[in-house]
Amino acid sequence: MATQHYRFQARNARGELVAGTLVADSVAAAAQAIRARGDHVVQLVPVAAAGEDLRAAIKRFNYSSGPSQKDILDFTTQLAVMIRAGISIRAALEGIAEQVQNQKFRRILMQIKADVESGKQFSEAIAKHPKLFGPLYVNMVKASEMSGSFAKMLDRIAAYLTQEIETRKMVVGASIYPGIIALMAISTTVFLLTFVLPRFAGVFKGKEDALPGPTKFLMALSTFMVEWWWLLLIAAVVGIGAFIGFIKTEFGGFWWDRFKISAPIVKRMFRALYISRSLQTMGELLNAGVPMLDTIAITGDISGNRQYKRLWRSVYGSVKQGKKVQTQLMRSTLLPRSVIQMIAAGEESGKLGEVLDEISVFYAKALKDAIKAVTSMIEPIMIVLMGSVVGFIAMAIILPIFKMSNLVSG
């Protein structure tokens, strides 16, 4: 086991406060070494050893923020391995907490351990931290506690979290490149209008009447941007803030979610994302033994789109009345007919969970293909738009120069 440097504060037998550093295999070993000297531990924290890699130190510093989804995945994977090895859940939680670098996550794990030691089920303990352990996680754990397949269920949860992280990376990655091109286009346009074009103002001075329309427009726009740049900056900040505030409202959120699944270029990608997430969630919960109504309710909450959430709520109401899942789905256009037919076949055969797993795998692949298609389509569109803007500005500058040179030569 790798050793770690610890900085401590302790009170000795005379009540004096002493401080220093020591090397130990774990926090528990460090505390034991201090107590062996007859001192009472006041504070004990790990510190970077001399010569430690700078990136590791920065990483540990960044871990002072809240735990990420990757932290939850690592915790779930480690817990599954330790439970399978026959280690009790209390000992496993304590062992994982000692290795966790994120201080907030460590405190949460110790609180979960304390709850488990007080007699609560693990699912009850993690349910007190809904921001880290969502309804899918809690309900799958609860189902495994009743069936006695805890370690196996943790493996399924880890696989689900891995897929979610990969999906998020793909979607974010698909938006980075177009964002960079858009930023370059805006920066280039602002540079030309506020730095290059004003240099030609002296050349065109006194000849404003002879300038073509595009040049007059750009000269006026350039003057406005140079003199009132602060107003444009305020307007941009207010506009962005207003848009973010709008989509956070119920009406604005519905509009934005509807736009994402209907916009010509990106609708295929977003539909594949929401269908894959919904059906994978539903399949995992059903296979875990979670009741159908609870499964549908959780699926709606996790879908990530208000339009799909409303669809699953309507399915919930229909199933609660004794109808089948397919009944309400048939009335919606959010799922393809082929998918609804496969769900109907799964219901009839009693293998709905297995069918949903297969569909979600298909749509996970469809999502990857859609992301590649969107990226390949947006790239030329952004380049054409950027070229058009720069070309228009260049034309507006060169055109009057040619016109004036013709007048001089004439």
Distance in angstroms (rounded) separating the CA atoms of residues 350 and 342:
12
- Strand 40-47 with 17-24, pairing: unpaired
Residue 240 has what pLDDT? 92
CATH for 177-410, options being 1.20.81.30, 2.40.50.1020, 1.20.210.10, 2.40.37.10: 1.20.81.30
Residue 40, pLDDT above cutoff 80? no
The residues with which 24 forms a beta bridge, in sequence order, are: 4
Question: How much of the chain, in percent, has pLDDT values that exceed 90?
Answer: 11
Of residues 274 and 398, more confidence is placed in 274
Which stretch of 61-75, 91-105, 384-398 has the lowest confidence by average pLDDT? 61-75
DSSP states of 261-288: TTSTTTHHHHHHHHHHHHHHHHHHHHHH
Of residues 237 and 400, more confidence is placed in 237
Of the candidates 388, 394, 261, which has an alpha carbon nearest to the alpha carbon of residue 332?
261
Torsion sign over Cα 222, 223, 224, 229: positive
Residue 61 has what pLDDT? 44
pLDDT band at residue 13 under the 50/70/90 scheme: confident
Mean residue pLDDT of the chain comes to 82
Tokens of 329: 């789905």
Residues of the chain with CATH 1.20.81.30: 69-163, 177-410
Question: How much of the chain, in percent, has pLDDT values that exceed 70?
Answer: 87
Residue 406 has what pLDDT? 62
Q: In angstroms, how far is CA 31 from the centroid of its own chain?
A: 38
Backbone angles phi, psi at 205, to 5 degrees: -65, 130
pLDDT band at residue 23 under the 50/70/90 scheme: confident
- Strand 4-11 with 40-47, pairing: antiparallel
Which stretch of 70-74, 105-109, 182-186, 291-295 has the lowest confidence by average pLDDT? 182-186
Q: How confident is the model over 152-168, as a mean pLDDT?
A: 87
Residue 53 has what pLDDT? 44
Question: What is 4-62's CATH topology?
Answer: Ubiquitin-like (UB roll) (3.10.20)
Q: In angstroms, how far is CA 61 from the centroid of its own chain?
A: 21
Distance in angstroms (rounded) separating the CA atoms of residues 314 and 12:
66
Residue 241 has what pLDDT? 94
The residues with which 22 forms a beta bridge, in sequence order, are: 6
Of the candidates 353, 336, 357, which has an alpha carbon nearest to the alpha carbon of residue 295?
353
Residue 42 has what pLDDT? 58
Residue 59, pLDDT above cutoff 60? no
pLDDT band at residue 255 under the 50/70/90 scheme: very high
CATH code of domain 69-163: 1.20.81.30
How far from 383 is each of 67, 142, 369, 376, 377, CA to CA, in Å? 39, 52, 22, 11, 10
Residue 11, pLDDT above cutoff 60? yes
Q: What is the pLDDT of residues 355-378, one digit of tens each?
A: 998 888 888 888 888 888 887 887
CA angle in degrees (0–180, nearest 5) for 343-348-349 = 95
Tokens of 57: 């130190």
DSSP states of 164-185: HHHHHHHHHHHHHHHHHHHHHH
Residues of the chain with CATH 3.10.20: 4-62
